[in-house]
Amino acid sequence: MATSYSPEVEAQLRADCEEIKSRYPVARSALMPILHLIQSVDGFVSPRGIVLAAEVLDLTRAEVSAVATFYSQYRRHPNGEYNVGVCTNALCAVMGGDVIWDTLTEYLGVGMDETTEDGKITLEALECNAGCDYAPVIMVNWEFFDNQTPESAKQLVDDIRAGKDIHPTRGPQIAHTFKENERVLAGFEDGHVDEGPSAGPASLRGLKIARENGWTAPQKKGGEQ
């Protein structure tokens, strides 16, 4: 990778950085979305991206690097086109997540935070994805693929490697690339926010039962804060 951006790319990055900065009363608060913006171009927090972020926010490179190395969503080496995260936390694990993880590591020939030779898939063992009602869950570029099995997981990665559209259980109709979703995390809408359900029947079961029984949350007594 080049040590600096082309004039056209750098001009667009700086313009986007200024838009992000305008959302915050203190400029350095824009660092985290700007790091996602860098990833939307480079696929990771690159050295040249660190330099640019430091310049536009008047920070040192060390300050930028400190944030980039603290949070797991910021990558320090190029990520695959699709990040396939298998939840291996307690509930998903006992429901089959550990088996899915073992299956995919063998099937793809890569381990934790490793990328397939074709650059298509980075495999990651994830902690809780807050989708326990649909365990075991896989997330592809942070989109939900619920109620997975070893067989469905293998089909999912096969479709990715074949260049086919993949369809999350909830959210957008199609799972977009890592770089495309990183731009969304930087705060730039992609027009897919209203596609698909955000919650399914299992997530809403408790609300349905409450409404059927006329249950409501306790009300505060007069004067209570």
User: Considering the entire predicted model, what is its pTM?
Assistant: 0.88
Residue 196 lies in a domain: no
In a shared domain, residues 177 and 104? yes
In a shared domain, residues 180 and 86? yes
In a shared domain, residues 43 and 121? no
In a shared domain, residues 53 and 119? no
Residue 27 lies in a domain: yes
According to DSSP, residue 97 is labeled I
Sheet holding 114-115, edge to edge: 114-115, 121-126, 82-87, 138-140, 143-145
**Tokens encoding 55:** 């310049």
pLDDT in tens, 23-82: 999 999 999 999 999 999 999 999 999 999 999 999 999 999 999 999 999 999 999 999
In a shared domain, residues 96 and 161? yes
* Those residues with Cβ within 8 angstroms of residue 64's Cβ, 6 or more apart along the chain or in another chain: 31, 35, 50, 53, 54, 57
Range of the domain at 169: 82-185
Residue 94 lies in a domain: yes
Over range 13-29, report the average pLDDT: 97
- Please tell me whether residue 67 adopts helix, strand or coil conformation: helix
pLDDT in tens, 106-131: 999 999 999 999 999 999 999 898 88
pLDDT of residue 40: 98
In a shared domain, residues 130 and 180? yes
